[in-house]
Every structure is written in C-alpha cells, then in structure tokens.
Amino acid sequence: MTADLVVRNCTVVTPAGRTPDAGVAVEDGTIVAVGRPDSLPDAERVLDAGGNFLVPGIVDGHIHNREPGLEYKEDWESATRAAAAGGVTTVVGMPNTDPVVDRPEHLELKFERGEAKAHVDFQSYAVVTSENLDLIPALDEAGALGYKVFLGSTVGDVPPPSDGEILEAMEKIRETGKRLGFHEENGEIIDHYTERFRAEGRNEPIDHSHSRPVIAEREAIERMITFAEETGAKIHMFHVSSGSGAEAVARGKERGVDVTAETCPHYLWFTEDVMAEKGNVARIQPPIRDEAERERLWNAFEDGAIDCIATDHAPHTDEEKLVDDPFGNTWDAISGFVGLETEVPVMLTFVDEGRLSAEEWVYRHSTRPAQVWGMYPAKGSLQVGTDADFTVVDPDSEWTLDDRTDLHSKNTVTPFEGETFAGKATATVVRGEVVYEDGAVVGESGYGTRVDVDADD
C-alpha cells in the first residue's frame, strides 16, 4: 500500500502516553497506521516533523466566528485561518451572531457560510431563549452540536430565559441526547453592580471586573447543577474563570450530575493585575480574577474539575476595544479578545514549566472536548480509522508575540501581545491535508467541513 501522507520523525503524544521516533500514515483523510517508522507504509507525500510532538488535532469548543452578520469583526475564513495557524483543527462557533442561531434556518445559514469558507472543520451551538423552546428538537435535527443559554447580559444582548423556561429547555434537550452549555453569570448580580458602579462614576477597567464578582459565577453554576440534577440533562460550563466556580463544578460531579466545564488560557495565565497593565484590552466577561482565585482554579484544573481548554476567541475592532485609549471609560469598551493563535503556545508554556504533562494537555485540549461534545473518536484521537487531524508542535521554541498584527484574524486585539511563550504549532493537518506549515496557512478556504455528529442517529 502507498499512503497519501506520512508524517514521520516525531514523538506521538496522546493522553495514554508518548512514542518517540514514530509517525502517522493517512489514506483518504483517515488514519491508517500509527507507530514506529518500520510499521508505516510508503507515501506520496512525507512530512518530516523534525523531532517535534505530533498530537491529535486541537479542538476549540468555544470561538466567536461572528458570521453571519458581524463580519466586520471576523468571518469563517479569517477565524479558521487563525485556527489553522494556531494548530487548531476543529472549532465550534458561538450563536451570538446576527441573526442569532435560534432556529434551523439560521443554523443552516451559518453552516453554509462555513462550508464555503472554512480552512478547518467546524460546528456550531444553537442558542436557547424564551422564544424558541419549541424549536429545540428541530435544531437538533438541523445538526447543532449542542445548545447555549446566556444567563447574564453579555456581548450580543441575548436575553436570558426564566428559571422555569431553563428547566423546560433541559427536559427537551435531554431528549436530544445533546449537551446544554451556559454563559454562567447571575444576571441580577452583575446588572446590580454594573448600575451601581456606573452611578458612582467608577469607570476604570478593574471596575468592570469587580462589577461581575465571583459569586455571580458560582451561584449560576450551583443553580444550573441543581436543575440538571432534577432534570437529568447533560450540562456544560463555558469559560469558568474562578476557583470558586471550578470547585462548584467539582461538587456537582461528586453529586453524580453530568456537568462538564472548560476554562480558558487567559484565566490560567493572567491575574486581574493585567487590567492595570493593559486596561480594556484585557476586558472580558467573565473577568480575569485575582491571584487567590487563579491558584484555586489551577488546583481544581489539576484535580479534574475542569474538563477542557477553550479560548472564547472573541474578536472586536480596535475602536470597540478602545485600543488608542486603553484606560478610557471602561463602560465605553467591549468585552473579549482573540485567542486562537495563542492557546497552544500558552498551554505548551505550562507544560514547559511542569504545571501539567504533555499527555494531560492533549487530553484537555483535544480528546476531552471531542468527547464532551460528541465528536470523539472521529476528532480527538489518533486511532486507526478516524479523521487524520494532527497538530505538530515544537515544545522548545521560545518566542514573544511582539506584534499582534502578525496574527491571522481580521481583528487582533489581545492581552497576550508582548507575552513570551515556550512552544508553538509548526504544522496543522485536517483530514490528511496540510493546512498550515512553515509559518504559512497553505490550506484552501472552503476545505473545512461541518463535523457531522448525527450521522448514526
């Protein structure tokens, strides 16, 4: 047999361990062999990984790709170009687009645009509001990966459903077998402090952070866990920012609730001191927490309370982020920043520092998100017969993000500008096609396809 592609000369890392001096062979977009050089077939194309790590493709279950409707910030092409350059082979788009993804036609529109433009594979969540509870089964049939509820006000102003409506939504979603994720901030708490701080003239970037206190996150997590305990729904906590929140997730898991959670690189990397250093550039919802909360988040992450890493990649224009006046009135600034091209470097830096093993990183950043969202083992594994999605990383290269405009997104504001990392992606392979190598996105726009999670239904 002659394979289409062999990636050789790498250390293959999976959650189960590492194999030095190994490689992977691909035929028709699927893995046909993994192992030592003498076990691999000849191939039409051989990619020398230069002794680097080869891992199952990174899965980012939380990006704001902004299309349809907000293409001035980002679109499927630019978001997935950034993904390819960042070593990310599958992305899942958030539903706070324009229109919001609240009915099958809007989901289909989002998928069509992705099919036309994406560089890597993709999926999308559907939003649940007071208005669309009856559409939950139809959104499942239209192929949504899962569902999202915004419990508190955030970018996009999607109104939260009532607690009764959430209970009903959980019952309906349980029937689909899919998972319901939350923007888990108690809306009444954050609205109260936002109004109070604004009335008092507290306008600094850190005031925005403190207007959304940890208790708002913890309470929302605990309430949704209680609802899931009652209804039997599978739930997920997006962007857990605090140790208090992560510990609440751990208690839910101990109670036997099917609750999964993610945190984001910025909550593990920065403390709220970044607001004094970088101002509104680092403004995000939920906000970056203090040192004590970050340490507790790390501990909970190590203990397994947090299943996955995801970015919350949220591009906005320089004007919206007040880049020219980063310490200007925070209530005039918007929340969110890009992350697709720094998530692998951040996590490899933690590996380099010995905070987690490479195997644990791969589990949290590829295998586990694929499992949580029902895409495993097609995504998130290196098993023979599954999609040939790989990320090749150099775990030793030290580099600094000197100039954010080197990033591939349409808008590139990020607090990671100026930070130094140990490691980066050197090649990205999606279903056997090399989409990024030697610092250049070489794949074609439109190659990426929707991950079909309902094929066997």
349 near ligand DOR, judged by CB under 6 A = no
Cα–Cα distance measured from residue 66 to residue 23, given in angstroms and rounded to the nearest whole number = 37
Q: 285 is in the binding site of which of ligand DOR, Zn ion, none (Cβ under 5 to 8 A by kind)?
A: ligand DOR
262 near Zn ion, judged by CB under 5 A = no
State the DSSP string of 52-96.
-EEEEPEEEEEE---TTT-TTT--HHHHHHHHHHHTEEEEEE-S-
Q: Strand runs (DSSP E) across 107-244, as ranges?
A: 121-127, 146-150, 179-183, 234-237
Tell the smallest beta-carbon distance from residue 312 to Zn ion (Å): 4
Show the site string, 157-186: x = touches ligand DOR by CB under 6 A, - = not: --------------------------x---
Do 126 and 148 form a contact (C-beta atoms < 8 A)? yes
Tell the smallest beta-carbon distance from residue 360 to Zn ion (Å): 24
Tell the smallest beta-carbon distance from residue 80 to ligand DOR (Å): 17
Tell the smallest beta-carbon distance from residue 64 to Zn ion (Å): 6
**Residue that the structure tokens 């950043």 belong to:** 365
Number of residues that make up the chain: 457
At residue 23, what is the residue type? G
Tell the smallest beta-carbon distance from residue 312 to ligand DOR (Å): 6
Total residues interacting with Zn ion, rule: CB under 5 A? 1
Interacting residues of 209 by C-beta distance below 8 A, sequence separation 6+: 272, 275, 283, 287, 288, 289
Containing H/E element for 116? helix 104-117
Tell the smallest beta-carbon distance from residue 23 to Zn ion (Å): 37
Cα–Cα distance measured from residue 241 to residue 138, given in angstroms and rounded to the nearest whole number = 32
Binding residues among 295-314 for ligand DOR as defined by CB under 6 A: 314
Respond yes or no on whether the N-terminal peptide bond of residue 213 is cis (omega within 30° of 0). Answer: no
Binding test (CB under 6 A) with ligand DOR, winner from 34, 284, 338, 427: 284
330 near ligand DOR, judged by CB under 6 A = no
Q: What count of other Cβ atoms lies within 10 Å of the Cβ of residue 414?
A: 25
Tell the smallest beta-carbon distance from residue 284 to ligand DOR (Å): 4
Nearer to ligand DOR by C-beta: 58 or 334?
334
336 near ligand DOR, judged by CB under 6 A = yes
97 near ligand DOR, judged by CB under 6 A = no
Tokens coding 348 = 């490899």
96 near ligand DOR, judged by CB under 6 A = yes
Binding test (CB under 5 A) with Zn ion, winner from 67, 121, 272, 312: 312
Give Cα separations from 287 to 214, 242, 418, 419, 455 (angstroms): 9, 9, 20, 19, 38
Q: 217 is in the binding site of which of Zn ion, ligand DOR, none (Cβ under 5 to 8 A by kind)?
A: none
Do 120 and 77 form a contact (C-beta atoms < 8 A)? no
Q: Which stretch binds ligand DOR (CB under 6 A): 18-26, 153-161, 193-201, 347-355?
A: 153-161
Tell the smallest beta-carbon distance from residue 409 to Zn ion (Å): 15
Cα–Cα distance measured from residue 447 to residue 441, given in angstroms and rounded to the nearest whole number = 12
Q: Which stretch binds ligand DOR (CB under 6 A): 154-162, 215-223, 348-356, 377-385?
A: 154-162
Nearer to Zn ion by C-beta: 312 or 343?
312
**Residue that the structure tokens 């599978």 belong to:** 234
The footprint of ligand DOR (CB under 6 A) covers 64, 96, 154-156, 183, 284-285, 314, 335-336
Binding site for Zn ion (CB under 5 A): 312
